[in-house]
A and B are shown apart, each in its own frame.
Chain A
Amino acid sequence: AQSVAQPEDQVNVAEGNPLTVKCTYSVSGNPYLFWYVQYPNRGLQFLLKYITGDNLVKGSYGFEAEFNKSQTSFHLKKPSALVSDSALYFCAVRDRTYNTDKLIFGTGTRLQVFP
């Protein structure tokens, strides 16, 4: 079965510093990977996706993610963190096997950016 893991419950970073939120995946076949962000009491917002092609994917709000097949990772990154980036971040994999089409989420990582 397809799955993703987010090993960190929380990541703390100072404003202006680079940030990384980690995600590893386990899939059979080609992975379709996503990052979403959730602000308090809101639905999830799409940040970026990897389907195929360039391993470095650029997304919304200055975020990017690097697909690494050998390490089965898809870490989310940003060169310079903002206080407004503080939120809950989810990595996800789309499972589109026979008769199935669903998005499986990781447990989430809370990002706290300090001024």
Chain B
Amino acid sequence: SQTIHQWPATLVQPVGSPLSLECTVEGTSNPNLYWYRQAAGRGLQLLFYSVGIGQISSEVPQNLSASRPQDRQFILSSKKLLLSDSGFYLCAWAKGTTNEKLFFGSGTQLSVL
């Protein structure tokens, strides 16, 4: 069966420090991968998605970037964090060729101080 791993669960970082959040999927190949951010326990904002290795689509201009170095690995990064980067970050995957559901990771709570 397929599983998605996202880490760390919580992270406290100072303003100006770098960020790297990692997400990996097991048990499937060539998944679509997504990064969402949720602010203050409300709506989800799609940040990045990827339909294949090295293919990254950015939804909103921001201080973050994403990379997909391997088929089942999706990394969210920043060179210098801002206070406004605080939030709950969720990674998700879906089968690319169907209209099946997204499977979500357990999320990372990022606090930038």
Contact = CB atoms under 8 A, between A and B. Distances in A.
A103 B46 contact: yes
A40 B92 CA distance: 17
Interface string B61-103: 0000000000000000000000000001010101010010111
Given A34-B101, A43-B90, A49-B101, A105 B106 contact: no
Contact of A107 (B34, B42, B49): B42
Given A32-B99, A90-B44, A102-B34, A44 B104 contact: yes
A44 B104 CA distance: 6
Interface residues of A, number: 25
A43 B23 CA distance: 13
A105 B32 contact: no
Contacts of A101: 32, 49, 51, 94, 96
B40 to A, nearest CB: 11
Interface of B: 6, 32, 34, 36, 41-44, 46, 49, 51, 57, 59, 88, 90, 92, 94, 96, 99, 101-107, 109
Interface of A: 32, 34, 36, 40-46, 49, 51, 88, 90, 94, 96, 100-108
Sorted from nearest, which 4 A-B pairs have the closest CB atoms? A43-B104, A107-B43, A105-B44, A46-B101
Given A102-B59, A103-B94, A108-B43, 15 more contacts: A42-B106, A42-B107, A44-B44, A44-B90, A46-B101, A49-B99, A88-B41, A88-B42, A101-B94, A102-B46, A103-B34, A103-B92, A103-B102, A104-B46, A108-B44
